[in-house]
Amino acid sequence: MYLEKLFGLVGKVAVVTGGGQGIGQVVAQGLAKAGAEVVILNRSNAHETVKSITEQGGKAWFFSTDVTKEASVDAAFAEILRRSGRVDIIFNNAGICMHQSTLEATIAQFREVFDVNVTGEFIVARAAGKIMIERGIHGSIINMASMSGSIVNVPQWQASYNASKAAVIHLTRSLAVEWAPHHIRVNSISPGYIATPMSVDTPQELKDAWMPHIPMHRMGNPEELVPAILYLACDASGYTSGSDVIVDGAYTSM
């Protein structure tokens, strides 16, 4: 009973951005299985994720949201409070990546990557933090970073993405310190190369180039991120804040 309470999420409301597919979808399902009510904030339809959760007896719903627009995020959280009454957990997952050399990339493309990956996470975290502070909720915010925030990926060039994820890691640390007096924990998770539906479009020559640099000689599965996120979301991680949890098959150890 003690461990179930410590590691469980029953009675919690968990918000997942970008939960329509890939990592966000798998994590949303994992949070629901741990007992949380899951709210998906996604620009496009996320009914498939909601259906997969509810068919297994979980509770989930979807609200169309553009994380780069403050008004859109504020409307989403107003609806969350109306329908669910509270916000306990944020998985700030929405993000984009661009593989392009710096000399070929446009300033507009660079700004787009930062707008979604950094500004979007800031807007969502701030909206959630405000609610948690006002209502005295000891919440957990988990930002999606990447091993790319600590290393430079090769052979693809993605300076904008790498820089954005480094910014996410330091944003996480900054919020963790600022909101510690309010008992709000802020951490980030940094996946390595993960096999998702999006990776299907990745050229095979890139995958072949990555494998020799991964000590485990394989890409990770989205399901292998869930335990780390569940730990950061639950009460068992009560003294863990400002941390970046790297799940990369030891890639960054090389």
Beta bridge partners of 185: 140
Per the structure, the count of domains in the chain is 1
Residue 143 lies in a domain: yes
Told to judge if 161 belongs to the known catalytic residues of this protein, a careful annotator would answer: yes
Residue 252 lies in a domain: no
State pLDDT tens for residues 114-157: 999 999 999 999 999 999 999 999 999 999 999 999 999 999 99
Reported pTM: 0.96
User: Looking at the predicted structure, is the pLDDT value of residue 3 above 80?
Assistant: no
Q: Enumerate the H helices of 45-119 as residue ranges.
A: 47-54, 70-84, 107-114
Angstrom distance (rounded) from CA 254 to CA 6: 35
Q: Which domain holds residue 128?
A: 10-246
pLDDT above 70 covers a percentage of the chain that reads 98
pLDDT class of 45 with cuts at 50, 70, 90: confident
pLDDT the model gives residue 44: 86
Kindly tell me the sign of the dihedral angle through the C-alpha atoms of 159, 162, 166, 172: positive
Residue 220 lies in a domain: yes
Tokens of 140: 């957990």
pLDDT class of 197 with cuts at 50, 70, 90: confident
Tokens of 90: 């944020």
Q: Catalytic: which of 12, 140, 148, 161?
A: 161
Residue 139 lies in a domain: yes
Residue 68 lies in a domain: yes
Told to judge if 44 belongs to the known catalytic residues of this protein, a careful annotator would answer: no
Residue 1 lies in a domain: no
Residue 2 lies in a domain: no
Q: Catalytic: which of 12, 140, 146, 193?
A: 146
Q: Catalytic: which of 165, 190, 241, 251?
A: 165
User: Looking at the predicted structure, is the pLDDT value of residue 198 above 70?
Assistant: no
- CATH number of the domain that residue 95 is part of: 3.40.50.720
In the three-class reduction of DSSP (H, G, I as helix; E, B as strand; rest coil), residue 169 is classed as helix
Residue 150 lies in a domain: yes
Neighbouring C-alpha atoms within 13 Å toward the C-beta of 135: 14
